[in-house]
Structure formats: C-alpha cells, structure tokens
Amino acid sequence: MPEKSPQLEQGWLSVLKDEFKKDYFLKLKDFLTLEKAQCRIFPSGNLIFNAFNLTPFNEVKVVILGQDPYHGLGQAHGLCFSVPDGVKVPPSLVNIFKEIKDDVGIEVPPTGNLTPWTKQGVLLLNATLTVRENHAGSHQNKGWELFTDAVIKKLSDEKTGLVFLLWGNYAKQKGTLIDVQKHHVLTAPHPSPLARGGFFNCKHFSKTNELLKQQGQAPINWGLV
C-alpha cells in the first residue's frame, strides 16, 4: 500500500511530497506511532502541520523559527512561540510582546495566540514538530529537523524576498540553508528570559515591515486583536 502523505495545504504538499517518501520520514512516522502508544504527545495529530495549513506556501512572506513545541498540556498548537487562547503566555512570548510594544507601539495583547500573524504570511515554524508531554526536546534528532531543514531550503530556493527571523543560536545555525542573495535574514538573541534581555531593542518587527514595504508588499500587523 502506498504511504499516505499528511493532510497538508496543497502548495506545501506539492513542494514537500518527496520528503514524505524518504526513509527518515518513514522512520519518524514509526517512532511517533510507538510514542503515541506509550504516552501523550503534543500537539495533537491534527495540529502537527498547523503552521503549514494556516500559511500556504504561496503566501509566505516572513519566517519565524522556533526549536521545540511547548510540552505542557494545552500549550502546543503547531505554531512556534504561540499558545491557544486562554493559556498563560509563556516567558519568551511575554518578551516578544514587550519588544513589539517598544518597537512598533502595539499594546501587549490579552492572548498568546499568534494565529492572526499566520493569516498575513508569517510562517511560525518549529524545527521539531512534536514533543512528549512534560519532556522538553524529547523528539529532537528523530527526523523532524531533516524535514524542517528541507522546508527552509525549499522556501529559500523557490521564493525571493522572504524575511527570516532567527532568534538564538539554534535558529541562527539554520541561516546556512538560506540564500542571503535572495532573502533577508535578521538575527537576535533568543527572547527567553535566560538570554538576559539580549533580544530587546532588536527592532525586528519594524525592520521586517520596512523590508516588506521596500518590495511593494503589505506590512504585517503585529497586533492580535
């Protein structure tokens, strides 16, 4: 029986279909099947590819790269740094909101749900797309990084003028996959409080909008309400 591809927005499915047939991805699927039989994994299956389904391939303008989904109950919904409505805003996202307020003057929102950004062309991509409950990093080095590296490479190869926001050393390493002759790469320390405030004053939100406007594209409304 042929391997089924994940339920994915048509544009993404078109550019990624070969990845789903590769050996590493088949092994990853087997690993996830075993994990699900033994424990709870996040996000739920229908949200693993949420970032792709909310931001079609043809509409991507900005890429924000995270590392791992949140591992607490109800937190992860397939978008890096984002949590569903009604969930306490995590510390890194608190700092992102502070920087947005300082940079572009938008008040800190009452929710940590970043879905409105995705509808404007912001791909909120984690390098690893699943995690075991209460075990941070538990699904790293199982194949997801090969998949999301392929995603970054496809975006770099097949599009022009994207703005990549790489925060922290892990995200910065992904810069090697991006053609800087065709795209804009903005780097900063991670927004986590553990980075001791190095993220503040990066002004990535106003810089992103300036770069988009220079290319005749609509700026992102970084507000959520």
Told to judge if 23 belongs to the known catalytic residues of this protein, a careful annotator would answer no
Q: Which helix (H) or strand (E) holds 26?
A: helix 23-38
Q: Catalytic one among 18, 23, 68, 102?
A: 68
Residue pair 63/164 in contact (Cβ under 8 Å)? The answer is yes
- Residues in Cβ contact with 107 at an 8 Å cutoff, skipping those fewer than 6 apart: 101, 223
How many other C-beta atoms can be found within 10 angstroms of the C-beta atom of residue 111?
Answer: 16
Judging by beta carbons within 10 Å of its beta carbon (0-12, 13-18, 19+), is residue 143 exposed, middle or buried? buried
Alpha helices in 39-90 (DSSP H): 50-54
User: Which positions are annotated as active-site residues?
Assistant: 68
